[in-house]
C-alpha cells in the first residue's frame, strides 16, 4: 500500500489519498455485501411469516428503499460519526466495536510483541549462522508458520493441549465460565486483574490467553522471520559490510548495527502489514477460540448478513491499515536517509 | 615464473592460488599462482586486463574475498608473518589497522543509512583508543587532509549526498584514519570524471609520499603508472606475467603481453 501513496509526495496529499482509499473500501463493501449476502430479513422473520410482516421488517431495517438511497443515507450517518445499528445485537455498531476492541487489542498486542521478537531473533540467527543447524531448524518452523492455516494451528493446539493433555482450558473466550471480569481500567483482563489484586483471575485469564496467543504469535512470527533472514543475508553480502570488515570493525558492530539498520527497512514494511492483520482481529484465530474480539464480531456479522456491522468492521480495518501505513512512511523516512517525505 | 623473496618486503604474495566452486563442486581456478612483493615505502602498480584477478588478490590481502572463493594454496606474508597460517585472527589483527583497502565504487562501499562522520568515527575508534570528541577531531583533520571542503557539515551527511569523487575522498580518509602501514587501492579512480581522476591521483600520491606509506595501486591507467609508481606488476588470467621497475617496464618490457598492453595504450604513440 505504501507504493500506492508514493514516497515523495507531501503528507497532505497522502492524507487525501488515505481518505480516498477508505471511502473506496467502504463503498465497495456496501454494495458487495448487498449483492453476495443472503437477504437478511429471512434471518429475522419466521419462515411462515406472511409478505406483510416481511415488508414491515424490511422497512424497519431500512432495506425497502433503493440501494443508492440507502448508500447516501449511510454516508450521511458516517459523516456524523454514526456507524448505524446492528441487526443482530440491536446496538449501535460503534458501541459494539468499542466493547469488543479491548479483547482484540489484548490478544494482538501480546502476540505482536512475542511474534515479532522471536521472528527477528530467529531471522538474524539464521542469517548469521547460514546453513547451520539453527538456520535449518528456524527455516523449517518458519515455513510451517507460513504454510499452515491459522485455524488449523489453533485447532491442533486445542486438540493437543485441551483434549489430549488436558492442561489448557477450552475455547470459551477471555475468562473461564463463572469468573467475573475485573474492574476495567486498561481493558486488558490480565493487567486489570493484577491491578485490582485478583491473582486467581489474572492466572485464569493468562491460561485462556495462552493458546490463541501462541496461534497468533506463530502467524506473525513466520513472515517476520522470513523477511529478517532474507534481508539480513542480503545485508551481510552487501558492499558496505565488506568495507566495514576490511576496515577492521568488530563483527558485533557489523552484524548488529551496520547490517541490522539496513534490515530494519524491509522489516518495517512487513511489520505494518502484520500489525494491520493482528489489530483487525485475526478473524480465524478469534473464531477458533471464541475470543470475543473484533474478528469474532465480523465473523458473526457476515454469517448474519448484518450489513451495518460488516461495514463497520471493514471501515475500522481500512482506517487501521491506512493509519499504520502512514506511520510506516514517516518511520521509513526516519530510518532511511535517502527517503524524503 | 619465480620471484625471489626479497628481504624486507612489507608484503609478499607467494604462489597464491584459488577459485570458485562451481555447481559441480569443482573449483575453477581463477588465481593460478600469483607471486609478487611490495617494497617498503614504495608505490607498486598492479596492471592487467579486466578479469585477470587483480581485485581478488587485493581482497585476499585482507581476507575479504567474495563468498564462494576457495583458496587452494599459497602464502601471504605480511611483515614476515603468513596471514593464512594464523587463521581468521591474523586477518582481524591487520584489517584497517596495519593494512587498509580502498574500494573501487566508494559510494556503494559506504553504508547508506549511517552518516559519513559516524562511519569514520567508528573506524577511527576501532583502532585508536580515543574518546568520542577526540575521534571526531581526528576524523575532521583527516577529512581536511583529503581536501573535503566544509568537513564539519559533510560529516553529518549520508553517502548518497556525496559525488563519486567526494565519496572516494571519504574512503581514503577512512583508510588512512587508522594510520596503516600498507594501503591497497583497487582502481580508486575508475568511473570518475577525468578531471576528478587527476585530482584524486594527485592527492593520493601526495598522501602516500608524505607519510612514507607502502601502497599498492591497482589500475587500468598506464599513464598514471608511468607518472607515479616505482614498481609494476603485470597480471593476466590469474598469473603474474612480469614484475619490473617502472622505468624498465616502459623502456624494455620483457613479456609479450606487457608489450601488447603498452601498445594498446596511448602512451606508446607519445613515445
Ligand atoms: N564472486 C565471484 N564469483 C565467481 N567468479 C568471480 C567472482 N568474482 C570474480 N570472479 C572471477 O574471478 C576472476 C578475477 O576477477 P577480478 O579479481 O575481479 O578481476 P580484476 O579485478 O582483475 O578485473 C574473473 O574472471 C571473474 O570472473
Ligand atoms: Mg577489479
The answer to whether residue B242 is domain-embedded is no
Give the span between the Cα atoms of B238 and A105, in whole angstroms: 62
pLDDT value, residue B5: 52
The atom of ligand 1 lying closest to the CA of B67 is: 1
> Residue B97 above 90 pLDDT?
no
CA dihedral A111, A112, A113, A114 (to 10 degrees): 50
pLDDT for res A341: 62
Please give the pLDDT value at position B38.
94
- Edge-to-edge strand ranges of the sheet holding B9-21: B27-39, B9-21, B69-78, B81-82
Q: Would you tell me how many other CB atoms lie within 10 Å of the CB of residue A58?
A: 17
Of A237, A248, A337, the CB nearest to B67: A237
B236 in contact with ligand 1, CB cutoff 6 A? no
**Is the CB of residue A128 less than 8 Å from the CB of residue A141?**
no
The top-scoring range by mean pLDDT among A306-310, B83-87, B164-168 is B164-168
Supply the pLDDT for residue A1.
Answer: 44
* B204: nearest Cα among B164, B147, B162, B154: B147
Give residue A5's pLDDT: 46
Q: For residues A230 and B130, what is the distance between their CA atoms, to the nearest angstrom? A: 36
| Mean confidence (pLDDT) of chain A | 88
- The model's confidence at residue B266, banded by pLDDT at 50, 70 and 90, is low
B62-78 per-position pLDDT tens digit = 999 998 899 999 999 99
- Looking at residue A282, what is its pLDDT? 86
Across the interface, whether the CB atoms of A242 and B126 are under 8 A apart is answered no
Overall number of domains in chain B: 1
Centre of ligand 2 to C-alpha B103, Å, is: 9
Full-model pTM: 0.85
Which one has a higher pLDDT value, A259 or B96? Answer: A259
- B61, B76 Cβ separation under 8 angstroms: yes
Q: Output DSSP code: residue B67.
A: T
**pLDDT tens digits, one per residue of A83-137:** 888 888 888 999 999 999 999 999 999 999 999 999 999 999 999 999 899 999 9
DSSP B25: S
Buried b (16+ CB within 10 A) or exposed e, A220-236: bbbbbbbbbbebbbebb
Condensed to tens digits (0 to 9), the pLDDT of residues B25-34 reads: 888 999 999 9
Provide the residue count of chain B.
Answer: 271
CA B108 – ligand 2 centroid, Å: 15
Q: What percent of chain A has pLDDT over 70?
A: 96
Predicted local distance difference test score (pLDDT) of residue A256: 93
Residue B87 backbone zone (phi > 0: left; psi -120 to 50: alpha; other: beta) = left
- From the CA of A242, the nearest ligand is 1
Contact between B186 and B103 (Cβ < 8 Å): yes
Residue B22 Cβ contacting ligand 1 at under 6 Å: no
Is B168 within a domain?
yes
User: What's the burial of A134, exposed, middle or buried (CB within 10 Å: 0-12/13-18/19+)?
Assistant: middle
Residue A52 has pLDDT above 90, yes or no: no
CA atoms within 13 A on the CB side of A7: 15
CA closest to A242 among chain B residues: B64
Give the C-alpha separation, A318 to B109, whole Å: 41
Q: Determine whether the interchain pair A248/B127 forms a contact, defined as Cβ–Cβ distance below 8 Å.
A: yes
pLDDT given for residue A224 in this prediction: 96
Q: Ligand 1 in contact with B35 (CB < 6 A)?
A: no
For the segment A3-17, the average pLDDT, to the nearest whole number, is 66
Q: Is the pLDDT of residue B268 over 60?
A: no
Q: Does A230 have pLDDT greater than 90?
A: yes
Question: Please, which pLDDT band fits residue B267 given cuts at 50, 70 and 90?
Answer: low
What average pLDDT score do residues B251-271 get?
75
pLDDT at B44 over 80: yes
How, if at all, do strands B239-245 and B231-236 pair?
antiparallel
Nine-digit cell string for A228: 529478517
Percentage of chain A modeled with pLDDT above 90: 49
pLDDT at B269: 47
Q: Which residue has the higher pLDDT, A35 or B85?
A: B85
Residue B133 belongs to a domain: yes
Among A234, A243, A331, A338, the residue to mutate for chain B (most B Cβ within 10 A): A243
**Residues pairing with B245 in the sheet:** B231
Least confident of A137-151, A203-217, B81-95: B81-95
Q: Is residue B115 part of a domain?
A: yes
Please indicate, yes or no, if residue B90 is contained in any of the structural domains. no
Q: How far apart are CA A274 and CA A228, in angstroms?
A: 14
**pLDDT value at position A257?**
93
Joined together, the cell numbers standing for residue A220 give: 506473525
Whether residue B43 is predicted with pLDDT greater than 90 in this model: the reply is yes
Whether B270 has a pLDDT exceeding 70, the answer reads: no
Assess whether the C-beta atom of B219 lies below 6 angstroms from ligand 1. Answer: no
- The ligand whose atoms approach the alpha carbon of B30 most closely is 1
Q: What is the span of the domain harbouring residue B159?
A: 107-179
Q: For every residue of A155-224, which 3-state class applies, written as one string? A: HHHHHHHHHHCCCCCCCCCCCCCCCCCCCCCCCCHHHHHHHCCCHHHHHHHHHHHHHHHHHHHHHHHHHH
Report CB contact under 8 Å: B123, A245: no
Please report the atom of ligand 1 found closest to the CA of residue B187. 21
Element (H, E) at B174: helix B164-176
Other C-beta atoms closer than 10 Å to the C-beta of A253 total 13
pLDDT tens track for B176-212: 998 899 999 999 988 888 889 889 999 999 998 888 8
Q: Exposed, middle or buried, B122 (CB in 10 Å: 0-12/13-18/19+)?
A: buried
Query: CA-CA distances (angstroms) from residue B145 to A244, B90, B172, B229?
Result: 22, 30, 10, 21
Q: Which residue out of B30, B46, B233 has the highest number of ligand 1 atoms within 8 Å of its CB and is therefore the one to mutate?
A: B30
The closest residue, in CA terms, to atom 21 on ligand 1 is B55
- Region B232-253: mean pLDDT is 90
- CATH of region A98-293+320-335: 1.10.3720.10
pLDDT at residue A193 tops 80: yes
The verdict on a CB contact (< 8 Å) between B158 and A337 is: yes
3-state secondary structure of A271: helix
Of B92, B112, B119, the CB nearest to A338: B112
How far is the C-alpha of B146 from the C-alpha of B204, rounded, in Å?
A: 9
When pLDDT is cut at 50, 70 and 90, the band that residue A3 belongs to is very low
pLDDT tens digits for range A295-337: 999 999 988 888 889 999 999 999 999 999 888 988 888 888 8
Amino acid at each position: 500500500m505504501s507504493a500506492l501513496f508514493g514516497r515523495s509526495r507531501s503528507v497532505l496529499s497522502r492524507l487525501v489519498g488515505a481518505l480516498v482509499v477508505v471511502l473506496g473500501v467502504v463503498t465497495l463493501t456496501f454494495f458487495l455485501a448487498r449483492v453476495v449476502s443472503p437477504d437478511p430479513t429471512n434471518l429475522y422473520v419466521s419462515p411462515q411469516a406472511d409478505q406483510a410482516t416481511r415488508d414491515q421488517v424490511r422497512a424497519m431495517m431500512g432495506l425497502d428503499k433503493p440501494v443508492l438511497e440507502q448508500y447516501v443515507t449511510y454516508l450521511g450517518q458516517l459523516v456524523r460519526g454514526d456507524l448505524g445499528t446492528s441487526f443482530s445485537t440491536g446496538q449501535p455498531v460503534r458501541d459494539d466495536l468499542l466493547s469488543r476492541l479491548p479483547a482484540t487489542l489484548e490478544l494482538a498486542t501480546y502476540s505482536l510483541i512475542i511474534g515479532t521478537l522471536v521472528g527477528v531473533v530467529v531471522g538474524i540467527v539464521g542469517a548469521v549462522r547460514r546453513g547451520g543447524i539453527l538456520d535449518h531448524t528456524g527455516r523449517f518452523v518458519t515455513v510451517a508458520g507460513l504454510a499452515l492455516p491459522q485455524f488449523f494451528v489453533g485447532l491442533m493446539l486445542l486438540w493437543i493441549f485441551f483434549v489430549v493433555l488436558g492442561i489448557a482450558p477450552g475455547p470459551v473466550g477471555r475468562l473461564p465460565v463463572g469468573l467475573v471480569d475485573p474492574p476495567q481500567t486498561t481493558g486488558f483482563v490480565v493487567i486489570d486483574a493484577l491491578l485490582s489484586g485478583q491473582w486467581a483471575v489474572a492466572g485464569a485469564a493468562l491460561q485462556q490467553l495462552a493458546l490463541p496467543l501462541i496461534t497468533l504469535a506463530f502467524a506473525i512470527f513466520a513472515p517476520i522471520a522470513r523477511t529478517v533472514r532474507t534481508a539480513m543475508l542480503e545485508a551481510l553480502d552487501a558492499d558496505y559490510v565488506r568495507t566495514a570488515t576490511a576496515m577492521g570493525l568488530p563483527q558485533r558492530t557489523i552484524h548488529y548495527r551496520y547490517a541490522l539498520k539496513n534490515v530494519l527497512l524491509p522489516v518495517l514494511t512487513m511489520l505494518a502489514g502484520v500489525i494491520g492483520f493482528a489489530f483487525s482481529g485475526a478473524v480465524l484465530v478469534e473464531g477458533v477460540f471464541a475470543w470475543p474480539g473484533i474478528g469474532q464480531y465480523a465473523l458473526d456479522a457476515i454469517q448474519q448478513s448484518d450489513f451495518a456491522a460488516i461495514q463497520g468492521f471493514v471501515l475500522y480495518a481500512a482506517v487501521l491499515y491506512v493509519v499504520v501505513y502512514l506511520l510506516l512512511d514517516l518511520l521509513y523516512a526516519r530510518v532511511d536517509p535517502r527517503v524524503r517525505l | 615464473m619465480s620471484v625471489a623473496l626479497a628481504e624486507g618486503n612489507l608484503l609478499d604474495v607467494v604462489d597464491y592460488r584459488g577459485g570458485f566452486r562451481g555447481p559441480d563442486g569443482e573449483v575453477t581456478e581463477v588465481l593460478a599462482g600469483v607471486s609478487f612483493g611490495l617494497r617498503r615505502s614504495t608505490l607498486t602498480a598492479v596492471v592487467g586486463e579486466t578479469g585477470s584477478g587483480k581485485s581478488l588478490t587485493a581482497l585476499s590481502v585482507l581476507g575479504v574475498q567474495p563468498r564462494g572463493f576457495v583458496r587452494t594454496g599459497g602464502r601471504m606474508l605480511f611483515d614476515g608473518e603468513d596471514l593464512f597460517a594464523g587463521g581468521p585472527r591474523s586477518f582481524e589483527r591487520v584489517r584497517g589497522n596495519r593494512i587498509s583497502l580502498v574500494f573501487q565504487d566508494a559510494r556503494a562501499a559506504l553504508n547508506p543509512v549511517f552518516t559519513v562522520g559516524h562511519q569514520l568515527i567508528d573506524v577511527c575508534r576501532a583502532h585508536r583508543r580515543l574518546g568520542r570528541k577526540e575521534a571526531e577531531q581526528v576524523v575532521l583533520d583527516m577529512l581536511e587532509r583529503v581536501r573535503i571542503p566544509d568537513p564539519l557539515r559533510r560529516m553529518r551527511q549520508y553517502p548518497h549526498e556525496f559525488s563519486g569523487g567526494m565519496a572516494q575522498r571519504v574512503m581514503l580518509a577512512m583508510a588512512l584514519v587508522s594510520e596503516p602501514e600498507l594501503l591497497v587501492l583497487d582502481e580508486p579512480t575508475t568511473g570518475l570524471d577525468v578531471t576528478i581522476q587527476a585530482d584524486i591521483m594527485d592527492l593520493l600520491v601526495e598522501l602516500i609520499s608524505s607519510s612514507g606509506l607502502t601502497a599498492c595501486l591497482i589500475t587500468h591507467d598506464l599513464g598514471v603508472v608511468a607518472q607515479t609508481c616505482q614498481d609494476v606488476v603485470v597480471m593476466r588470467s590469474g598469473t603474474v606475467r612480469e614484475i619490473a621497475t617502472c622505468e624498465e617496464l616502459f623502456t624494455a618490457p620483457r613479456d609479450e603481453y606487457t608489450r601488447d598492453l603498452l601498445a594498446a595504450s596511448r602512451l606508446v604513440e607519445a613515445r
